[in-house]
Amino acid sequence: MLIAAGFVLVAVAGMPAPVVAADGKSGDGGKKCAAERVLAQPPFPPTNVNLFTPETYSQASPMVPAPPRRITETQLRVQLAKALLPRAARHPGVVKQGLAVFDDPKIKKIIPDPNLRAALASLVGGPSEVSVETIRSGFYAKVIFAALPASTIAQVSPDTQGDPQILFNERYRFENFSLLGVAMAHETLHQDPAVGGMEEYIAYALHSGYYGQLLLEQPKLATSGTELTRRTNTQLLALVNTRDAKGRQSLTANRGNVFPGGKPLANFRSIFPADLGPATPGNPDLNAFLSAITKTRQRNANFDRATAELLDVRLLWAPPEGRLRVAKLLQLKLPKGCPPWPQPTVPTQIPAGDRPAEAASAASPAEPPTSTDPTGALAATVTMVSGLALLRLRRGHGHRAVPCRLH
């Protein structure tokens, strides 16, 4: 399926926060904070392995997807407004824009399921907002749930007419739409028939950084305990723990096992095959996502070594304090004496003029689960599958099926 030390904590996601520069200095020119010195330490071990996958931590409990529940579109609209609220101060009108995406008749034809439509709408105001226009353009014939292998979260594959569509695993039908939005951001990066290891590596790096930003906006996501949460947490753990000797975010630095006490992995790069294969063509989604995450201007980026190297040094998903905040949200054990990095300030009310009618009253609680799937699948292996077959699709932009595998 399917962001790195930024200039401010939410330079991309748009959440109000204390202004902190990428070098760890306060916005008023104060002394360098201790955050990077803390991050310069070896990888942080988890204190609760049940937030991650059994594939990575064998002692972790089995994983179970979010159980079935009944939720109306009215409830989803209120929840969507709440999810977008942290971006409202930096992106005026983001709530209205997100709700407009959710209600868009053209998008409804492509994404009939309201939870998946909310997933797309949740990208408004974020680094992958470009995904909305890609979907609205009709590039993908459908975005739907389907029966997929347990290890696959989502994939792009052809429909019966040979047109590309995005398929989400049916087992994740009731997962939080913001989590599904992370997968949506990844899948819309795949728009060309030649998809290989390099393209997946870059797409995973981008969507993992975005998930880190999402946790700063919605901290409770990290501990929701569902299968999709734990799979996404595990990839973020690999990212957070891949740091160079100065504590800077990296994809290739080797400071010890990024899964301390678990399955050995040298760094985020090691999730993928040693040979990432040839470069593949980029697209507008890559340009926009990459520009937002690296704070650069990209117009002709490709899925190639140059892009991978850019992300290795400029994956600016949060400044040092934000990365430490995420480490705490993942319940990692930080060195003794670490200051209590505060949670960023999040507005509690939607700004006037951006408030949907539904937000005026509290959403009705969803009905309790009617059943569960106690068997839950174990996480996918960290080894990416290479040598993937190509599929012929429409418009000369064909796309083979791209299973998205997380730990």
Which of 225, 286, 281, 284 shows the shortest CA–CA distance to 2? 286
> Quick check: 82 pLDDT over 60?
yes
Q: What confidence score (pLDDT) does residue 192 get?
A: 86
Q: What confidence score (pLDDT) does residue 25 get?
A: 40
What are the angstrom distances between the C-alpha of 293 and each of 233, 236, 314, 320, 368?
19, 15, 8, 15, 38
> Quick check: 375 pLDDT over 70?
no
pTM of the model: 0.79
pLDDT in tens, 115-130: 999 999 999 999 999 9
pLDDT in tens, 85-102: 999 999 999 999 999 999
Measured distance CA(13)–CA(126) in Å, rounded:
5
Q: What confidence score (pLDDT) does residue 350 get?
A: 58
Q: What confidence score (pLDDT) does residue 356 get?
A: 55
Q: What confidence score (pLDDT) does residue 347 get?
A: 54
Q: What confidence score (pLDDT) does residue 136 get?
A: 98
Taking all residues of the chain, what is their mean pLDDT, rounded to a whole number?
Answer: 82
Q: What confidence score (pLDDT) does residue 79 get?
A: 97
Kind of pairing, strands 154-158 and 164-169?
Answer: antiparallel
Q: Any idea where the domains of the chain sit in the sequence? A: 35-344
- Structure confidence at residue 352 as a pLDDT band (50, 70, 90): low
pLDDT in tens, 179-224: 999 999 999 999 987 788 999 999 999 999 999 999 999 999 999 9
